[in-house]
Amino acid sequence: MARRKAPRTWVKNVTTVSTYPPPGTFTLPAKDIARIMARKDVSPKGIGSGIRMIQFFINRSGKNLSKERKIELEKAKKILQQQMRRRV
């Protein structure tokens, strides 16, 4: 007997107990996303936390994420990674 494939689900909200990016954050240009994700109220544990949230959003979006949006999110990650390198 063939196994049934579980339906794919998508996590719509990227939030945890301590962080809440404002609604619509991931639809903005890369510089704005990076600026928001670097704030202490959004990423209290530092810039690395913001990078992980962006990557989580990319991973969970899967095929539903447009190519243009993925490029913008990757740019935002690169901006944050550069900021992190400068601070070390």
Express each pLDDT in 52-63 by its tens digit: 999 999 998 888
pLDDT digits (tens, 9 = 90+) for 25-67: 999 999 999 999 999 888 888 899 999 999 999 998 888 999 9
CA dihedral over 78, 87, 38, 15, signed as positive or negative: positive
